[in-house]
Amino acid sequence: MDKNKTNPTRPLQTNFCNLSLSSPTILLSGCVGFGEEYTRIDGFSNTDVGGVVLKGTTLEPRLGNKNHRVYETPMGMLNAIGLQNPGCEHVIDKILPNLIANETHFIANVCGSTIDDYGAVTEKFDDSMVSAIEINISCPNIKEGGVSFGNYPEMSAKVINACRKRTSKPIIAKLSPNQTDIKENARQCIEAGADALSVINTVMGMAIDTETREPIIANVQGGLSGPAIKPIALLKVKQVYEVAEPHGIPILGQGGITNSNDVLEFLIAGATTVGIGTALFYDPMICKKINEELISYMAKHNIQSVHEIVGSLKT
C-alpha cells in the first residue's frame, strides 16, 4: 500500500509497517492491560484507535515490584510496576484467544532480562494473532549487573538482531530517552532489523516523602510519563526522524500526549503514529475526541491524508 494513498472517506487511515490503521493513535503498553477490558468500554469503536500495545510480557510470570509502584506528580505519573505479567505462554494461550482480531491491531510488547529471553518470547509471539511486536529494550540486563539494554546502542542492536531472527512480524524497537545518543541507537536498531521505532520510553525520576524522608516509590526510581516529558519526547522524535526517514522507517511518537494539538506536533516532528498512555487514566475515550479534532484540522487546512503532515516541520 502506498503510504501516501488516501481514502477520502477515512482521512485518518494510516499505514504503519504495512499495516492499515484506522487512526494514527495507538494505545500504549501498560496503560490498557492486555486490551480485553479496554475494548469493552461502552462507546469504544474499533475505528477509534489504530492499535493497542499489550502489557509488557516476559518469558516467565513476574509479580512485579513492591508497593508503592505508582505516584502522581504535578504534570504526570511515576511508575515502577516491575513488568508484572502472567508470562508469555499464559498470554498467548489464555488471553489472546479472547481478543477480537478484527477489532483493531494488537501489538505484543516483549521484555527480557537476557538476549536469549527476548528471542524466546519473540518466537512464541511469532505464531500468534498479534500484528507486530514491540521490543522493550529498556529492561535491565541481569548478566551485565542490571544495566539497561536500551542505554547502549550496541546492546540494543544485539537484542533487535536476536528478535529479528525469531519472527517474520514487524519489529518495533522502543527507544529509551535515558541515553547519550538516541540517534546512534536508532541507527543501529535499524541496521539490526527494526521495522519501526517507538520514541520515547519513560524518563527516569523519583519522589520523596518529606515526613519519613524515604522514597515514595518502593523501587526508589520509576519511569516518568505524562505532560512533563512531552518537550523531551518531541525533540527525540525530531532527532530520530533524521535517521529513520532516509530508510523509510516509521516512528511511533509518544510522551505526554493529551490532545489533538500534541498529536499534530508529533506528526509534524516526524512521527507516523502517536501513542496515548497516561492521558487514558483520566479520559478513557480521549482518542475519539482527538480523532474528531484531527479531522477538523485537516479539513480546515485542506489536508487529504494524515501522511501529508508527517515530517512537515519547517526549520
- In angstroms, the CA 268 to CA 217 distance is 35
- In angstroms, the CA 56 to CA 202 distance is 14
Alpha carbon separation from 101 to 85, 98, 106, 307 (Å, rounded): 21, 9, 8, 25
120, three cell numbers: 524466546
233, three cell numbers: 519526547
176, three cell numbers: 529509551
- Does residue 88 carry a catalytic annotation? no
Amino acid in the structure at residue 231: P
264, three cell numbers: 499534530
Q: Which of 17, 88, 139, 287 is catalytic?
A: 139
Nearest to 202, CA basis, from 97, 261, 275: 275
Catalytic residues: 139
